[in-house]
């Protein structure tokens, strides 16, 4: 009896531990968002250079995610989690120490490696919790990995205003150290009998391709100022991806099970994640930038970084609420259908932003609607993928989805920047207000494509 009570107690502690770790790595990776201007001023670098404090963790996270996903399928998952968190803690220390700008970038890249842990947290939940409990926990892990960005944004902004950039990054050091201690005490070992081999050549090929894809997506100046170079790099990225896919299909120990990824349910879900992720991040970009635009531009609210960060509060709160409710909704609504409904909700946020943004209450409302859509979308996505994935491949399958999400987020940021740049007259600092409406309509189109993809996926599913 005592043994059963002990198992139930460990399971109870495991759920909050997994959610805390996923929340921390997501929040820390996004710490640079409100600090770009402060970084540029503190280190005397351009805004484009300071932007790399966001790009670096995104790149390292995309490269590390599939490798960690493969390690998570083997017997050494606990060791991989602890080692990765140790790297994140080291990176957090580099961001706090009085090092030059290159040291800060190295630290941010090390912090981004932690993004690959989200899929491993899902693998732990699927292995060590009951089916019903694991489904709900995986859904919440997926949600907090997105809404976590809104948790750290206001607090980081406040710390930056009070104590500077180093104080803001100090928050990352504190919470990542806490996450490492939590993992050491709470994460169990993987089930026996599993093995996972990481092919170094495959990892290098994929890393090179992902680096080029995310670089081209996040650095729109390359397309506007060096179009030929951008086209060549895009061609190289496609070539590397083709070579990598071919080698994976021939390998007996692939880094990613490409055959499983080609399953209609998995492929459809990843396509929905790519397009939907770009739309979701686009609205986040638009609202944040609009809120901080000074009144002199003819629109905007001229909010400080801290106050602008508060706009994320309804996004995070309602996103978490939607994530909590989604497992119950899934009992009556199929996963792909729920993805479609969620995409429509996000599209409603775009419509609201396009039609009404004359006061802060309307911005809060748009962010709240976005949070509801993103929360339910994120919570429903793992169920769609894992329904067609063996339990042993949970971490690997979800790692691919998170790489796709990273690419989608980068595309959303790039699309938003491109549309606003096109709407900025020569010699002007800020785009015309109509450029925001145009960007919002692009977002509506992206979410319409996402909804249609999800509906198509639902129709292809066999009835049971």
pLDDT in tens, 37-52: 788 888 998 766 887 8
* Whether residues 182 and 151 fall in one domain: yes
CA 376 to chain centre: 15
* Whether residues 400 and 355 fall in one domain: yes
Q: In 3D, which of 90, 84, 30 has the Cα closest to residue 55?
A: 30
User: Given this model, what pLDDT does residue 100 score?
Assistant: 94
* Whether residues 249 and 262 fall in one domain: no
* Whether residues 149 and 243 fall in one domain: no
Give the span between the Cα atoms of 39 and 41, in whole angstroms.
5
* Whether residues 170 and 27 fall in one domain: yes
- For 227-250, give the DSSP string: HHHHHHHHHHHHHHHHHHHHHHHH
Give the span between the Cα atoms of 423 and 441, in whole angstroms.
14
* Whether residues 185 and 81 fall in one domain: yes
User: Which is it for the CA torsion 145, 148, 153, 158, positive or negative?
Assistant: negative
* Whether residues 111 and 178 fall in one domain: yes
* Whether residues 262 and 240 fall in one domain: no
Cα–Cα separations (whole angstroms), residue 388 to 67, 267, 394: 21, 11, 10
User: Given this model, what pLDDT does residue 192 score?
Assistant: 73
* Whether residues 301 and 417 fall in one domain: yes
- Strand locations in 128-238 (E): none
Give the span between the Cα atoms of 307 and 58, in whole angstroms.
25
pLDDT < 70 regions, the chain: 1-12, 32-34, 47-48, 149-150, 193-196, 218, 220, 460-464
User: Given this model, what pLDDT does residue 149 score?
Assistant: 66
* Whether residues 346 and 421 fall in one domain: yes
Of the three residues 254, 271, 287, the one that is the final residue of a domain is 254
- Length reported for the chain: 464
* Whether residues 187 and 335 fall in one domain: no
First-to-last alpha carbon distance for the chain, in angstroms, is 38
Of the three residues 150, 177, 196, the one that is the final residue of a domain is 196
Burial class (CB in 10 A: 0-12, 13-18, 19+), 227: exposed
Write the CATH number for 186. Answer: 1.20.1250.20
User: Given this model, what pLDDT does residue 8 score?
Assistant: 52
Task: Please say whether the beta carbons of 105 and 49 come within 8 A.
Answer: no
Q: How many domains does the chain have?
A: 3
Q: In 3D, which of 428, 429, 408, 432 has the Cα closest to residue 419?
A: 432
Give the span between the Cα atoms of 28 and 407, in whole angstroms.
19
* Whether residues 247 and 261 fall in one domain: no
Give the span between the Cα atoms of 427 and 407, in whole angstroms.
32
Does the pTM exceed 0.85? no
Helix ranges (H only) for 293-393 are 305-310, 312-329, 335-355, 360-386
Task: State which residues form the domain around 281.
Answer: 257-464
User: Given this model, what pLDDT does residue 461 score?
Assistant: 59
User: Given this model, what pLDDT does residue 193 score?
Assistant: 64
CA count, 13 A, side-chain hemisphere, 26: 24
């Amino acid at each position: 009896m005592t043994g059963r009570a002990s198992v139930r107690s460990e399971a109870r502690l495991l759920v909050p531990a997994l959610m805390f770790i996923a929340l921390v790595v997501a929040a820390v990776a996004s710490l640079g968002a409100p600090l770009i201007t402060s970084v540029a001023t503190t280190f005397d670098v351009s805004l484009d250079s300071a932007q790399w404090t966001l790009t670096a963790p995104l790149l390292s996270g995309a490269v590390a995610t599939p490798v960690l996903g493969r390690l998570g399928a083997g017997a050494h998952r606990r060791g991989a989690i602890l080692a990765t968190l140790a790297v994140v803690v080291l990176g957090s220390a580099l961001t706090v120490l009085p090092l030059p700008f290159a040291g800060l970038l190295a630290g941010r890249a090390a912090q981004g490696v932690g993004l690959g842990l989200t899929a491993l947290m899902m693998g732990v939940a699927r292995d060590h919790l009951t089916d019903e409990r694991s489904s709900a926990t995986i859904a919440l892990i997926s949600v907090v990995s997105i809404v976590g960005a809104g948790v750290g944004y206001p607090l980081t902004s406040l710390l930056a205003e009070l104590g500077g950039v180093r104080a803001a990054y100090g928050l990352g050091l504190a919470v990542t150290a806490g996450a490492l201690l939590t993992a050491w005490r709470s994460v169990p070992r993987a089930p026996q009998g599993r093995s996972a081999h990481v092919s170094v050549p495959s990892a290098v090929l994929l890393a090179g391709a992902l680096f080029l894809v995310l670089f081209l997506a996040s650095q729109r100046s390359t397309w506007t100022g060096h179009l030929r170079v951008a086209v060549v790099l895009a061609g190289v990225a496609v070539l590397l991806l083709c070579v990598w896919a071919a080698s994976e299909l021939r390998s007996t120990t692939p880094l990613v099970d490409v055959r499983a990824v080609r399953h209609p349910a998995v492929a459809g879900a990843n396509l929905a994640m790519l397009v939907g992720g770009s739309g979701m991040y686009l609205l986040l970009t638009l609202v944040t930038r609009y809120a901080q635009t000074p009144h002199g531009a003819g629109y905007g609210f001229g909010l400080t970084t801290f106050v602008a960060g508060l706009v994320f509060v309804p996004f995070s709160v309602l996103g978490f609420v939607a994530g909590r409710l989604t497992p119950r909704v899934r009992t009556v609504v199929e996963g792909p259908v729920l993805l479609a409904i969620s995409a429509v909700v996000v599209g409603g946020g775009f419509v609201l932003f396009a039609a009404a943004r004359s006061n802060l209450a309307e911005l809060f409302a748009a962010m709240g609607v976005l949070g509801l859509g993103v929360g339910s979308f994120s919570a429903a996505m793992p169920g769609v993928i894992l329904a067609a994935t063996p339990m042993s491949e949970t971490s690997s399958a979800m790692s691919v989805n998170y790489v796709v999400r990273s690419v989608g987020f980068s595309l959303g940021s790039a699309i938003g920047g491109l549309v606003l740049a096109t709407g900025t007259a020569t010699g002007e600092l800020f785009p015309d207000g109509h450029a925001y409406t145009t960007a919002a309509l692009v977002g509506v189109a992206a979410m319409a494509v996402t909804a249609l993809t999800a509906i198509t996926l639902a129709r292809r599913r066999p009835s049971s």
